[in-house]
Chains A and B, each alone.
Chain A
Amino acid sequence: MQKLVLLGDEAIAQAAIDAGISGIYAYPGTPSTEITEYIQHSKEAAAKGIRACWTANEKTAMETALGMSYAGKRTMVCMKHVGLNVAADPFINSAITGANGGLLIVSADDPSMHSSQNEQDSRFYGKFALVPILEPSNQQEAYDMVRYGFDLSEHFRLPVMLRITTRLAHSRSGVETRPQREQNAVSLPTNLRQFVLLPAIARKQYKNLLSQQQALISESESTGFNIFIEGTDKSKGIITTGLAYNYLMENFADRKVPYAIVKIGQYPLPINMIEKLANECDEILVMEEGMPLVEEHLAGLLHRGIKVRGRLDGTLPRDGELNPNIVAVALGFADTRGEEIPAIVASRPPSLCVGCPHTDSYIALNEAMESYSKGRVFADIGCYTLAALPPLQSINSCVDMGASITMAKGAADAGLVPAVAVIGDSTFTHSGMTGLLDAVIHKAPITVLILDNSTTGMTGGQSSEAFGRLKDIVTGLGVEPEHIRILKPLRKNHAENVQAISEELNYDGVSVIIPTRECIQTLNKRLREKFKNKK
């Protein structure tokens, strides 16, 4: 057994290699990105021929993985929590088809929204889909749960969700690995209609899924990822999920907690353990890293049963990630907060890199927009969203990937003409293309800027599926060639870029402007590598 110091993400990746996956499919998104990158950079994975592909979006990733599972091989899909919204259709339906080869879906939640637009809790999706969920509390458990997750998936022929959060994903500690096992051979499902969700078949499959729930609960009672720890003080019993267990332990130097604890790491919930806790204790304090899923479940709508405390009654904050101090206060301990932050400390928001191509694109756009009233620029998600802040203050929306083009069309339909959409190259191939097709078909008076920096910048410079194809894609979707303008966003081209944007703003139809210049970060990295190889 080898001991490695790994990020939670890396532990998951190594575990997947060791568990014998044949492919990983993902679209980047903090905090999940490093899982796929680890496998892409792993010589071991390359030698085993493991497919490690970025996909156009999370939906295509999920479906590709489902295809690999159909063909009998083990496969993993990774995404950030909002990616699961995009992949929700295949995800929910994969519970009805079931799996063939082991299928593990990793969804990385971001409570406190360190780099996300919401803090949705993926466990709700898992529960909704009626699939087992695994939720590690540390890097070792993350490693172990991946191996177990594939076994569980192949045993029940069901997809399995692994739910992690930012702190686990981006925190390192020692991990012991296990012997590697072989990949599966190709083998089709024994029933060749298993994946045909015609209503008549789907109804049968759904009943089958429901009938497995009891066995999944029994599994949750016995695997060791849910444990009951006895306590002497019966005034309170504690349920922890995920990292909350660590924060609880942090508050007891000798790690001896007087209260009984149910530590949850696997769902559906272990009913017997929870029942025992409820029978023994006067009240239950639920500490969840995420939304109050377990708490709501236990309290019930009318709160007529056992007294339940947690995020809903204000014992813990309703939003944000937990930490040792929040847990201390909930336990009635003193807050150990030290000196306050001196008032002179200014906030330091992230900003576009010096020399970023987006800056030049926005300076030109700002000038071209000067003759119109404010509030017409619908943007999207990526580095270029930072233009919402000073000094550029160019954009008026950022909702979900792809929403720029479609929102601009809606606003134009409402009479806000011209309306502008600003979208990155990777975001465009993720979910912008279909919206552009809508706009073309209805000849909407919108001007779309696709900021082509040849990469997926925000998440660290992954390849972009749009690379070298943007003009062809846009032409193929039916944008008129004379209204497709390729610009080079440089200060020296400022005047002509403003001119081009102004002309297209005046056009009563769909224009697409593609400012094209590589991200400074990926450019520098490429040059450094080239230099190194020459030396």
Chain B
Amino acid sequence: MKKDIILAGVGGQGILSIAAIIGTAAVSSGIYVKQAEVHGMSQRGGDVQSNLRLSSAPIASDLIPFGKADMIISVEPMESLRYLPYLSPEAWLITNTTPFINIPNYPEVENVMAEVRKVKNHIVLDADQMATEAGSARSANMVILGAASPFLDIAMEVLEKAIRSTFGRKGEEVVNMNLNALRIGRQLADAQMTN
């Protein structure tokens, strides 16, 4: 098993919790993990990314080589495009459609989505809205994780357990909110793939 994942977003959007949950789930399944993250300067509303590598064999590099990523998981549509040079031709791009507009020259959202749709394998979803409708507006990142889950080679139960252990300290309510978000994201991905 080998999964090289680029997580993308804007500082403060919670990509590191997605990474932490996948990482915890992988480690509990005896899979090797390397995860490079960005700290410091780029957190102030700038673009952030994390390289998450999972493998059944020991991993050499902390960084994913160009053209070798198996998926891009993005909580922001324009940010998902920033890492296309890393994506392998058969890989998946899973992205939120809600833009995070904090720059004056943000492109037209339709144009961004048109570029996203040029990627052969993609799942697009309005995670912010789905999370809000499900009553957990702050769990959009977990909706995205749910949408990416079919491609992770990690069982849903294991991801759910990782969510429980990650958010356990914050109480049952928070855990359930995040589990719920994970499941609706998963359902949507399953539906888009069968279409």
Identify the A interface with B (CB < 8 A): 5, 7, 30-31, 33-34, 114-115, 167-168, 170-174, 243, 246-247, 249-250, 255, 323-325, 328, 335-342, 344-353, 383, 386, 458-460
Report the interface size class on chain B.
Answer: 35 or more
Measured in the bound complex, the distance between the Cα atoms of B64 and A458 in whole Å is 28
Which 7 A-B pairs rank lowest in CB-CB distance, beginning with the nearest? Answer: A30-B40, A115-B41, A336-B67, A350-B46, A249-B60, A350-B44, A324-B65
As a 0/1 sequence over residues 52 to 83 of chain B, the CB contacts with chain A under 8 angstroms (1 = contact) are 00000001111111111000000000110110
Of the residues A328, A337, A351, contact of B44 by C-beta under 8 Å: A351
**Which residues, 18 to 47 on B, are CB-close (under 8 Å) to A?**
23-24, 27, 32-47
Query: How far is it, in angstroms, between the C-alpha of A352 and the C-alpha of B107 when the chains are bound?
Result: 22
With a CB–CB cut-off of 8 A, which chain B residues contact A33? 39-40
CB contacts (< 8 Å) of B60 on chain A: these are: 246-247, 249-250, 255
A5, A325, A328, A346: which contacts B23 (Cβ < 8 A)?
A5
Residues of B contacting A170 in the complex (Cβ-Cβ under 8 angstroms): 36-39
CB <8 Å contact, A31 and B102: no
CB-CB under 8 A from B35, the residues of chain A are 171-173
Which stretch of B84-92, B150-158, B179-187 is in the interface?
Answer: B84-92
Q: Which residues of B contact A (CB under 8 A)?
A: 10-11, 23-24, 27, 32-47, 59-68, 78-79, 81-82, 84-89, 102-103, 105-107, 111-112, 115, 119
Q: Are A246 and B68 in contact (CB under 8 A)?
A: no
CB neighbours (8 Å) of A173 from chain B are: 32-35, 59, 62
List residues of chain B with CB within 8 A of the CB of A458.
Answer: 40-41
B61 surroundings in chain A (CB, below 8 A): 243, 246-247, 249-250, 323-324
The answer for the CA separation of A482 and B105 in the assembled complex, in Å, is 45
| Contact with A348, one of B23, B32, B102, B119 (Cβ below 8 angstroms) | B102
A172 touches B66 (CB 8 A): no
Per a CB cutoff under 8 Å, which of A30, A172, A339, A349 touches B46? A349
The residue in chain A whose Cβ has the minimal distance to the Cβ of B63 is A323
Q: Smallest CB-CB separation from A349: which chain B residue?
A: B46
B-side contacts of A247, CB under 8 Å: 60-61, 63
Q: Contact between B62 and A344 (Cβ–Cβ < 8 Å)? A: no
Report whether B36 and A341 are in contact in the complex, using a CB–CB cutoff of 8 Å: no
Question: Cβ of B45: which chain A residues have Cβ within 8 Å of it?
Answer: 348, 350-351, 353
Quick check: A31 and B39 within 8 Å, CB to CB?
yes
Given contacts A5-B27, A171-B34, 14 further A-B contacts (CB under 8 A): A5-B23, A170-B38, A172-B36, A173-B33, A174-B27, A247-B60, A324-B61, A338-B87, A341-B81, A347-B47, A350-B41, A351-B44, A351-B46, A458-B40
Given A249-B60, A323-B63, A341–B85 Cβ distance below 8 Å? Answer: yes
* 28 pairs, A vs B, C-beta closer than 8 Å: A5-B24, A30-B40, A33-B39, A33-B40, A114-B38, A114-B40, A114-B42, A115-B41, A168-B62, A171-B37, A173-B35, A173-B59, A173-B62, A174-B27, A243-B62, A247-B63, A324-B64, A324-B66, A338-B66, A339-B119, A341-B81, A342-B84, A347-B103, A348-B10, A349-B103, A350-B45, A351-B46, A352-B44
For the complex, give the distance between the alpha carbons of A125 and B17 in Å: 37
Whether B47 pairs with A342 at a CB distance below 8 angstroms is no
Q: Are B65 and A336 in contact (CB under 8 A)?
A: yes
Expressed in whole angstroms, the minimum distance between the Cβ of B82 and any Cβ of chain A is 5
Q: How far is the CB of A379 from chain B (nearest CB, A)?
A: 16
A324 to B43, CA, bound (A): 25
Whether B78 and A345, one on each chain, are in contact in the complex, defined by CB atoms closer than 8 angstroms, is yes
In the bound complex, do residue B44 and residue A353 qualify as a contact, i.e. CB atoms below 8 Å apart? yes
Which of B32, B34, B42, B115 contacts A350, CB < 8 Å? B42
